[in-house]
Structure 1
Amino acid sequence: MSEDGMIAAADGSMPDALRSDADWRLFQAALDRAALVVLGRLGHSRHPNPGRRRLVLTRSVADLAADPADPRATFWNPAGLPIEAVLDRVGIDDGTIAITGGTATFDLFLPHYDRFVLSEVRHLMLPGGVACFSKGHPRFVLPGAGLEARDMDVIESGVVQTNWIRP
């Protein structure tokens, strides 16, 4: 994200200045280890990935439905079915569930995180961009949800990664 807490520019695009090769490698490795990747519909449409098990948040289904274009993806409307029932129906009872965004997805899972890995591009501001959390900057939202900042590392020049952990 940018220093002002944005995960994309105002038009929803990811500016080159927000991209980090080191972060991308770490992110992809974490997704490879996850039992399930949860993301919003726009992210799923923009970045198809038929190799990973995906749960895609959308209002276009009543509760749960298979993605006809990807046998490893399932569409889910959180208003129609609680996450516990979803995990049972898709057969996830163990392993890491990786929440990759966007804003509504991050907001929905805020009470459930036991860990949130946040990579921040220092000195980059995206005024009017797409916020990580609707309630404010992650440095304020995550502690308010009971997470503590730990293990802050510079992963690339100008990019700091912080692990937020629920004690």
Structure 2
Amino acid sequence: MDHSKNYITPKGIEKLKAEYHELLNVERPKVVEVVAWAASNGDRSENADYQYGKRRLRQIDGRLHFLQKRIEAAEVIDPKSLKSDKVIFGATVTIENEDGDVYTYQIVGEDELDIKQNKISWKSPVARALLGKKLDDEVKIQKPAGDEMVVITDIVFE
């Protein structure tokens, strides 16, 4: 996989676009309004509303710029359209460790990472260890506490 690409699922790109839209069309205009009102009150050097508003505008503009670049670089891949006997981007993989503990992860884009929902970035150490492997393969995952051997028990695309 090309590490400069921004691989992302359809849900992930929609989330980025929704955040961009919210910031640009809802939050930014509100902050501009507050800054304009605060500026009209005179001395800006001691005006907390004005100073906070300007800082918040810089944060919003920075985030908008970041989101725009991520959206432009996005290569949308729909897991439902994939078929493979190997672990690839978008796969939901179930693994079992030597203690019999079972974990299921979906391999997603960097912008979709959500540990609570078991979504891991395709660039993460766990995903990199699993990518390209097949059902019943033994895989060594390098962890800070030491290497862990796991077996792939299921690969699905949903």
TM over 0.5: no
- Greater share of helix: 2
Structure scoring higher RCO (CA < 8 A, sep ≥ 6) equals 1
The interval holding the TM-score normalised by the smaller chain is under 0.3
What's the TM-score, normalizing by structure 1?
0.23
The structure having more radius of gyration, on CA atoms, is 2
What's the TM-score, normalizing by structure 2?
0.24
